[in-house]
Amino acid sequence: EYSDKVFDHFTNPRNVGEIADASGVGEVGNAKCGDIMKIYLKISDDGIIEDVKFKTFGCGAAIATSSMATEMVKGKSIEEALKLTNQAVAEALDGLPPVKMHCSVLAEEALRSAIADYYRKQ
Amino acid sequence: EYSDKVFDHFTNPRNVGEIADASGVGEVGNAKCGDIMKIYLKISDDGIIEDVKFKTFGCGAAIATSSMATEMVKGKSIEEALKLTNQAVAEALDGLPPVKMHCSVLAEEALRSAIADYYRKQ
Ligand code: FES
């Protein structure tokens, strides 16, 4: 029921880890399943996301969507990153089973929380 | 909120994989989160679980409990394995957050399903 892209990003996730001197860190919990997601951003002086890493205890769908979402915002401006939706990430993965769509919300929320943390620190 | 043992079995899970010539295979889905778990058993002629492997798309709690559950039944008789509960596995991991107890049910159910499959094939 999972696409090849979901399996690829699940078994070989991109951008897993932490950034020690992150410009912003976002952490969110998923009310539905209790999982947690943490995203670290390294943002340049002109507002470009130079690096991004994530850590999660979440399921395969959470890992795959975070891997894809971090790939999609790397090198982009903060404004572009704020436009990324969990639907766009799911589409980039050739879809997710409806029952797993809530997992893809973790990456979107953690990303926005990390950007908010960056603004707070400015 | 997770114990050291949960993190250990999550980051370094035991018995991940498949058994090509399995004596019994069990696959179950979790109604609550939509995740899936598959367990493979290699059972000797005198009813001892000689080898056991699992594969899951589930979260960190599902991975940790499956890792611990497979360790707990390896080398045991079918009768002993049937007595293993998800509560006992969670206790062996020094506990799980209440919201993640449903994840530990996957390993117990997949194990029983694999044993049922073994009996069916006899
Ligand atoms: S949330 Fe689905 S197995 Fe844990």
Check pLDDT > 80 for residue A117.
yes
B3 touches chain A (CB under 8 A): no
**Which residues of chain B make contact with A56, given a CB cutoff of 8 A?**
60
Ligand 1: does its nearest atom lie under 6 Å from the Cβ of B30?
Answer: yes
Catalytic residue among B103, B107, B110, B114: B103
What is the token pair recorded at A29? Answer: 């919990």
**What pLDDT, in 10s, does the model give residues B91-110?**
999 999 888 888 999 999 99
Mean pLDDT of A79-103: 93
Give how far Cα A73 sits from Cα of A37, A50, A87, A98, B103, Å.
16, 9, 15, 24, 31
Q: pTM of this prediction? A: 0.84
Ligand 1: does its nearest atom lie under 6 Å from the Cβ of B63?
Answer: no
Please report the residues numbered 14 through 73 in chain B whose beta carbons come closer than 8 angstroms to any beta carbon of chain A: 32-35, 56-62
Check pLDDT > 80 for residue A40.
yes
Residue to substitute in B6, B28, B36, B59 for testing ligand 1 pocket (most ligand atoms within 8 angstroms of CB): B59
Query: What percent of chain A is predicted at pLDDT more than 70?
Result: 98
What is the token pair recorded at B93? Answer: 């991991």
Q: Are A118 and A50 in contact (CB under 8 A)?
A: no
Dist CA A107 CA B30 (whole Å): 22
Mean pLDDT of A28-39: 84
Helices (H) then strands (E): counts for chain B? 5, 3
Question: What pLDDT does B68 receive?
Answer: 98
Mean pLDDT of A79-96: 96
Q: Are A29 and A113 in contact (CB under 8 A)?
A: no
Mean pLDDT of A70-92: 97
Question: How many other CB atoms are there within 10 angstroms of residue A1's CB atom?
Answer: 12
B103 is catalytic: yes
The candidate with the shortest Cα–Cα distance to A104, out of A65, A52, A69, A59, is A65
Ligand 1: does its nearest atom lie under 6 Å from the Cβ of B101?
Answer: no
**Which residues of chain B make contact with A59, given a CB cutoff of 8 A?**
33, 35, 57-59, 62
Question: What pLDDT does A46 receive?
Answer: 95
Query: What percent of chain A is predicted at pLDDT more than 90?
Result: 81
Question: What pLDDT does A34 receive?
Answer: 75
| Burial status of residue B98 (CB atoms within 10 A of its CB: 0-12, 13-18, 19 or more) | exposed
Question: What pLDDT does B55 receive?
Answer: 96
**What pLDDT, in 10s, does the model give residues B14-69?**
999 999 999 999 999 887 777 899 999 999 999 999 999 999 989 999 999 999 99
| Residue among A57, A58, A99 whose CB faces B34 most closely | A99
Task: Give, as one character, the DSSP assignment of residue A121.
Answer: H
Ligand 1: does its nearest atom lie under 6 Å from the Cβ of B37?
Answer: no
Question: What pLDDT does B59 receive?
Answer: 92
